[in-house]
Each structure stands twice: as C-alpha cells, then as structure tokens.
Amino acid sequence: MLDETEYTVVPIPPRLMPYNEYYLKIAKREVNSLEEAERKGVELEECMDKVLVGCVTPVPQPQHRKSLYAAVTNLTVREQTEANKFFLTDEELSQCKESYSNGAGSQ
C-alpha cells in the first residue's frame, strides 16, 4: 500500500521482459548533452510504463511509479531465483544471483 492506495504487483511476464532489458540498457548508457538526457528520460519512462501496465493494478499514481517498478523487478528476480534452484547447480545459481544483482534488481 502506498499513500492509501493498495496495489497488486505480479512478476514481469515473458512478453514484457524485452522492455525491462531495454530499460537496463538505456539506464547504463552515458549521455553527453541535454538533448540526449531528455531522450534517455523519455525512453526510460516509456519502458517503465509498459512494464507497469502489465504488472500492476490499479494503474499507478505518478508519484508511485518508481517504487512500484522497483517492486516489480525485485519480485521478478526473486521468482527467477526460486525457479533456477530446480534447474541449476549451486555454482550456476550463484552466478545468476550475481547477474541479477548487477542488472534487473538494481534499479
């Protein structure tokens, strides 16, 4: 619950994963001008909105978007980590956790 609004959050479904991957790619991109910064900001918001529409109900209030995006990505990382326990060795699982902490879960 955020500011008296109760939200339902689900992990990112496969069809929306490319938006999250693109978000991470954009977030790491260095900017060299005000125009690039503005373009980067718009692209980040567009990716975030695509993920939020598919993962959060009701539609988030503007002031809650960043917190809910973090909640969605963290939930997704937790579920991926749990699923990986069934298919990966301990070493592979450790590598995945490191990868997740450097990417999807570090917004």
Q: What total of structural domains would you count in the chain?
A: 1
Q: How far apart are CA 50 and CA 55, in angstroms?
A: 9
pTM exceeding 0.85: no
Q: Which one, of 43, 103, 40, lies nearest residue 73 by Cα?
A: 103
Does any domain span residue 3?
A: no
Does any domain span residue 107?
A: no
Residue that wins the pLDDT comparison between 101 and 5: 5
Q: What is the pLDDT of residue 97?
A: 66
| Alpha helices, H only, the chain | 17-28, 34-55, 65-84, 90-101
The range of the structural domain enclosing residue 23 comes to 8-101
When computed from its CA atoms, the radius of gyration of the chain, rounded to whole angstroms, is: 15
Q: What is the pLDDT of residue 105?
A: 45
Q: What's the mean pLDDT in 7-31?
A: 94
Gap between the terminal Cα atoms of the chain: 20
